[in-house]
């Protein structure tokens, strides 16, 4: 009788796997590995593996095979897999969008893949706008990368009778889009401790396998499942490029009390002006000794034209480019981009407005970068820029801001407090008439601003403040029902040590 032999030398790609074929051979890296238990299948080893193209697929080892394969499978190892089952991937919170998953046989071969590259393409990062717009398939977990710009207090929540730590974190992307993230369990504690210890640095957070959550029409992301993996200031190849693409606004990391945050609405404009941040007058901002984020209402008096209202930036990195004396083949001027480390003509105009803003208590200079300036100018800088125009000329759409009342969310950093900078970076701006009028009608604050005792507190980054919200969120009962939806106690939290610390 003829024998059927496996074609050992033919390596399939993950995208080529089909249920009809159980003799496939693949070379993959174990991206994530964890133990799981449920009543139906008992104890299992669960994995997500990735091939050289960056394509992922889920794999499972049944309870009866754990002893056979346990010592052959380690997270981060590159392995050869052959003779395995390929079957439909179904259910909620799938780790990959691949239509199939892998199951181990008793005869499955596991070997070492000696030539597997240590770096694979990143194909699964979700765009913040797609998440917040509800455009993604919520049955699949996603990856995100963002800068931590704000984090709350570490809270203990009782979910279905069990204690669990919770931390709310605000992330932003290169387009200055901000999104709320809820972290649970050991990750909540570790991210909180790391952020508190690194207040003066830029913290880039990579979250693999997080879930997209919806609450009353608002979207956020959450950890809480065994597969979730978080890296802080990791050395992955794409991180430096991501940092370079962030707005060049030196945004300070802030730590606000999150006891009044509403997960579903914390990223909304209204929540940031009426719930999350302390309200100060411009005079109080100038006198503040607190590093943090505050909101205020003021009237734009003038725009500084001496420093210009726009700058030319690289289309790919948002960074300012330097003029050169060279031109390209089409006689277009070339500019040098430090991030690209080359000359090119792919540049675009972006806003950089220094607005003198005034209220009854004083006046200050507020610095608005591209996205926040666009929100009140109603035009992009590229639409208004004319290279032949006098540099002191202000486009009409910009000069129309004079006399306009605007709500500002601004950062006060150590340089502001020490007098090294007289400009306050704007994190959010709106001239929405109803919000402006409501904010203006708020009663005077009764609580004074918390003051730091010494300049040492500023330089060490230990200074923070407890926000004094001006409105209450939904009832605690509604909040807890949402938390139960966020965090299933049937799925144990990952206890693996946080990498990247």
Q: Which two tokens stand for residue 442?
A: 């708020």
**Secondary structure in 3-state letters for 74-108:** CCCCEEEEEEEEEEECCCCCECCCCCEEEEEEEEE
Contact 461, 291 (CB under 8 A): yes
Buried b (16+ CB within 10 A) or exposed e, 225-234: bbbbbbbbbb
Beta strands in 173-309 (DSSP E): 178-184, 204-215, 218-222, 229-232, 254-255, 278-279, 292-303
CA-to-CA dists, residue 66 to 19, 48, 79, 293, angstroms: 23, 16, 17, 51
| pLDDT of the residue at 479 | 41
Contact 417, 288 (CB under 8 A): yes
Of the candidates 92, 196, 207, 237, the residue with the CA atom closest to the CA atom of residue 494 = 207
CA 500 to chain centre: 16
Contact 307, 354 (CB under 8 A): yes
Contact 397, 232 (CB under 8 A): no
Residue 210 pairs with which residues in a beta bridge?
Answer: 142
| pLDDT of the residue at 318 | 67
The Cα 164–Cα 352 span in angstroms is: 44
Q: pLDDT tens across 181-213, in order? A: 999 989 999 999 999 889 888 999 999 999 999
Sequence length of the chain is: 501
| pLDDT of the residue at 221 | 93
The Cα 110–Cα 370 span in angstroms is: 52
Buried b (16+ CB within 10 A) or exposed e, 170-195: bbbbbebbbbbbbbbbbbbebbbebb
- β-strands 142-151, 254-255 pairing: parallel
The number of C-alpha atoms within 13 Å of 90 and in the hemisphere containing its C-beta is 2
Angle (nearest 5°) at CA 31 between 30 and 33:
75
The Cα 209–Cα 70 span in angstroms is: 23
Q: pLDDT tens across 392-417, in order? A: 788 999 999 999 999 999 999 888 98
H or E segment and range at residue 481:
helix 476-486
Count of Cβ atoms closer than 10 Å to residue 165 Cβ:
18
H or E segment and range at residue 241:
helix 239-245
| pLDDT of the residue at 160 | 67
Of the candidates 146, 161, 180, the residue with the CA atom closest to the CA atom of residue 258 = 180
Q: pLDDT tens across 225-260, in order? A: 688 999 999 988 889 999 999 988 777 787 765 544
Domains of the chain: 14-112 (2.40.50.140), 128-256+481-486 (2.40.50.140), 278-459 (2.40.50.140)
Identify which has the larger pLDDT, 257 or 264: 257
| Tokens 């979730």 belong to residue | 228
Count of Cβ atoms closer than 10 Å to residue 6 Cβ:
13
Task: With cut-offs at 50, 70 and 90, classify the pLDDT of residue 9.
Answer: low
Q: Averaged over 92-110, what is the pLDDT?
A: 93
The Cα 372–Cα 425 span in angstroms is: 10
Q: Which two tokens stand for residue 183?
A: 């972290």
**Residue-wise DSSP of 226-283:** TT-EEEES---TTHHHHHHHS-SS-PPPEE---TT--TTTTTSHHHIIIIISEE--HH
The Cα 426–Cα 416 span in angstroms is: 13
Contact 462, 290 (CB under 8 A): no
Mean pLDDT of the chain, nearest integer: 82
Task: With cut-offs at 50, 70 and 90, classify the pLDDT of residue 339.
Answer: confident
- β-strands 362-369, 347-359 pairing: antiparallel
Of the candidates 216, 204, 273, the residue with the CA atom closest to the CA atom of residue 241 = 204
Q: Averaged over 44-56, what is the pLDDT?
A: 96
Is residue 56 predicted with pLDDT exceeding 90? yes
Task: With cut-offs at 50, 70 and 90, classify the pLDDT of residue 63.
Answer: very high
Contact 53, 29 (CB under 8 A): no
The Cα 349–Cα 309 span in angstroms is: 10
H or E segment and range at residue 418:
helix 414-418
The Cα 480–Cα 472 span in angstroms is: 15
Contact 205, 171 (CB under 8 A): yes
Identify which has the larger pLDDT, 234 or 269: 234
CA 20 to chain centre: 40
């Amino acid at each position: 009788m003829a024998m059927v032999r496996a074609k050992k030398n033919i390596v399939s790609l993950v995208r080529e796997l089909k249920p009809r074929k159980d003799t496939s051979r693949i070379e993959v890296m174990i991206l994530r590995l964890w133990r799981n238990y449920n009543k139906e299948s008992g104890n299992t080893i669960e994995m997500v593996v990735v091939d050289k193209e960056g394509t992922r697929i889920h794999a499972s080892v049944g309870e009866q095979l754990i002893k056979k394969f346990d010592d052959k499978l380690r997270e981060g190892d590159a392995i050869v897999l052959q003779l395995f089952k390929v079957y439909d991937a179904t259910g909620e919170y799938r780790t990959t969008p691949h239509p199939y998953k892998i199951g181990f046989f008793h005869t499955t071969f596991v070997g070492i893949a000696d030539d597997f590259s240590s770096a694979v393409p990143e194909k699964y990062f979700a765009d913040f706008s797609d998440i917040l717009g509800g455009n993604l398939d919520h049955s699949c977990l996603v990856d995100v990368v963002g800068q931590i710009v704000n984090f709350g207090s570490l809270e203990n929540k009782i979910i279905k009778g069990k204690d669990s730590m919770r931390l709310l974190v605000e992330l932003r992307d290169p387009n200055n889009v901000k999104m709320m993230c809820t972290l649970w369990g050991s990750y909540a504690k570790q991210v909180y401790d790391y952020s508190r210890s690194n207040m003066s640095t830029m913290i880039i957070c990579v979250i693999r396998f997080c879930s997209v959550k919806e609450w009353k029409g608002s979207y956020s992301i959450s950890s809480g499942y065994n597969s979730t993996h978080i890296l802080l200031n990791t050395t992955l190849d794409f991180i430096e490029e991501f940092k370079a693409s962030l707005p060049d606004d030196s945004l300070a990391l802030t730590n606000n009390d999150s006891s009044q945050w509403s997960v579903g609405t914390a990223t909304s404009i209204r929540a940031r002006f009426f719930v999350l941040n302390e309200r100060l007058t411009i005079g109080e901002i100038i006198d503040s000794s607190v590093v943090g984020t505050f909101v205020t209402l003021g009237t734009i008096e003038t725009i500084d034209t001496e420093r210009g209202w726009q700058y030319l930036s690289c289309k790919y990195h948002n960074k300012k480019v330097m003029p050169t004396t060279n031109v390209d083949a089409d006689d277009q001027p070339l500019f040098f981009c430090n991030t690209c480390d080359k000359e090119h003509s792919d540049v675009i105009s972006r806003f950089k407005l220094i607005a003198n803003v005034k209220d009854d208590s004083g006046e200050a200079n507020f610095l608005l970068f591209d996205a926040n300036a666009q929100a009140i100018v109603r035009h992009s800088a590229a639409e208004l820029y004319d290279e032949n125009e006098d540099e002191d000329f202000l486009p009409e759409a910009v000069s129309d801001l004079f006399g306009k009342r605007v709500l500002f969310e601004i950062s006060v950093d150590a340089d502001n407090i020490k007098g090294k900078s007289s400009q306050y970076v704007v994190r959010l701006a709106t001239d929405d008439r109803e919000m402006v009028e409501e904010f203006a009608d708020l009663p005077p604050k009764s609580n004074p601003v918390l003051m730091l005792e010494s300049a040492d507190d500023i330089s060490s980054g230990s200074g923070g403040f407890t926000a004094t919200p001006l409105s209450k969120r939904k009832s605690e009962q509604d909040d807890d029902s949402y938390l139960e939806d966020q965090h299933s106690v049937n799925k144990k939290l990952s206890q693996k040590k946080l990498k990247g610390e």
